Amino acid sequence: MNPSAPLPTPEPTPTLGTDAQLSVAGELLDLLRSSTTEPRPDDQLEALTLAVAADLPVLLWGEPGIGKTAALTRLAASLGLPLTTVIASVHEPSDFSGLPVVGDDPAVQGVPMAPPQWAVELVRAGRGLLFLDELSTATPAVQAALLRVVLERRVGALRLPPGVRIVAAANPRASAADGWELSPPLANRFVHLYWVHDREVVVRGLGGVWPRAELPRLAPQRLAEAVRFARDAVCGFLAVRPTLIHRLPTTETGRGGAWPSPRSWEAALTLLAFATAASVSRDVLALLVRGAVGDGPGLELLAHLDRMDLPDPEELLADPASAELPVRGDLRQAALDAVVAAVGARPERERWEAGWAVLVRALETGAPDLLVAPARTLAALRRADWEVPAAVERLASVIGLARRADRSVRRVAAATGGRGGGGHGSCAGTGTGTGAAGAGR
């Protein structure tokens, strides 16, 4: 072939009519919209799925375009539930409370409230996912009409079947078109989840692979245990924090989110039982609990759960040599403090010596810097006629090193005239822990 020869003219593409071009465009769109799913860890999707399984209304908060509607569409497809989308802001209150229908003899038969078509279709299907979109742009009158729909599952005179789950979506008022704050009665009926995008999920999704939503795998043998644990946890927490049983936020924005009430604590108890039976991660549990009762009360409940997992200090004192202490630093510190407090509540020589044995056990199995405060407190409990046990010698170097480090911090602060004292104290505190750990090793 002669390289200087002109290239052959390509065959002209046949001219297609308008209908044919639209058909080709449809094929291209179908290819672009086709996607698959994969099992992929996703805390917020797992939290959403568990709340849906627990039959609790969920409200997804997120900026426009973040993917809330797409996530709900994929969720319905993954769970095999028909999706019914209702844009709350374009409906009238009567679309949710029902339209009055006057019969032949209203004085005798009354005036029934006819439900809208979407509710009739949900009842006919017996199951489905009701998606209430754009909730933050619904007027206060529409929000009031939604109260019975969300809590009682009633639309007019019609009751939605148990197989119907309710999920809503809303944009923050600042980014919602003509937005409203949610009324406190409506907000308190939802589990609030704040939807954010994950870079890897978005990139893989645009490439055609999205994470798959799966119902939580509840262990049948753990159901009774999960209910008992959830009740003990929530009731025990509220017994010591009764002011959190009902606390209406003072700001309008706060009242439109998650806040504690008997209703939302019941939701938190349900979520805790489901999370326990499904053995979900702590991050997922945190999203759910905080979404039910708010950030502050939710975090306090999580801390209470940690304390419930602490070993009984009396059991540790009874058998120090085989004591199993928590691995996490804050929990280990709490366990050691509980042991010392138990000795202080009933100070006896045998219990005091057992307390030192527990500290030695902690020295053998973890960081020594956690022992400084408990050891000082335990030493202060000594009576004049109690001999110092040999175990104290193994802890003396740790306590002495910590005291020398404390004195060094004070000398540095005095030499600098208090300049940057907070920063020096923080760094020195870290150094103390590192040094003690090194000495222990």
Q: Is the pLDDT of residue 59 over 80?
A: yes
Q: Is the pLDDT of residue 129 over 80?
A: yes
Percent of the chain whose pLDDT exceeds 90: 42
Q: Is the pLDDT of residue 217 over 80?
A: yes
Residue-level pLDDT at 114:
77
Q: Is the pLDDT of residue 434 over 60?
A: no
Distance, in Å, from the CA atom of 292 to the CA atom of 58, rounded to the nearest integer, reads 9
Residue-level pLDDT at 343:
92
For residues 11-28, give the mean pLDDT: 79
For residues 140-146, give the mean pLDDT: 91
Task: Confirm if 288 and 300 have CB atoms less than 8 A apart.
Answer: no
For residues 104-110, give the mean pLDDT: 63
For residues 294-313, give the mean pLDDT: 90
Residue-level pLDDT at 370:
84
For residues 340-361, give the mean pLDDT: 91
Task: Confirm if 392 and 356 have CB atoms less than 8 A apart.
Answer: yes
Distance, in Å, from the CA atom of 132 to the CA atom of 116, rounded to the nearest integer, reads 14
For residues 301-329, give the mean pLDDT: 87
| pLDDT confidence bin for 311, thresholds 50/70/90 | confident
**Model pTM score:** 0.72
Query: Mean pLDDT lowest for which of 135-139, 291-295, 417-421, 423-427?
Result: 423-427
Whole-number average pLDDT of the chain? 83
| pLDDT confidence bin for 437, thresholds 50/70/90 | very low
Query: Mean pLDDT lowest for which of 71-75, 194-198, 392-396?
Result: 392-396
CA pseudo-torsion sign 206, 202, 77, 60 = negative
What domains are defined for the chain? 35-100+112-211 (3.40.50.300), 220-308 (no CATH), 313-440 (no CATH)
| CA-wise closest residue to 297 among 255, 234, 252, 251 | 234
Percent of the chain whose pLDDT exceeds 70: 82
> CA 39: distance to chain centroid?
20
Q: Is the pLDDT of residue 15 over 80?
A: no
Residue-wise pLDDT for 361-404, tens only, equals 888 887 777 888 888 898 889 898 888 887 777 777 666 544 55
Q: Is the pLDDT of residue 83 over 90?
A: yes
More confidently predicted of 423 and 269: 269
Residue-wise pLDDT for 228-264, tens only, equals 999 999 999 999 899 999 999 999 889 999 999 999 9
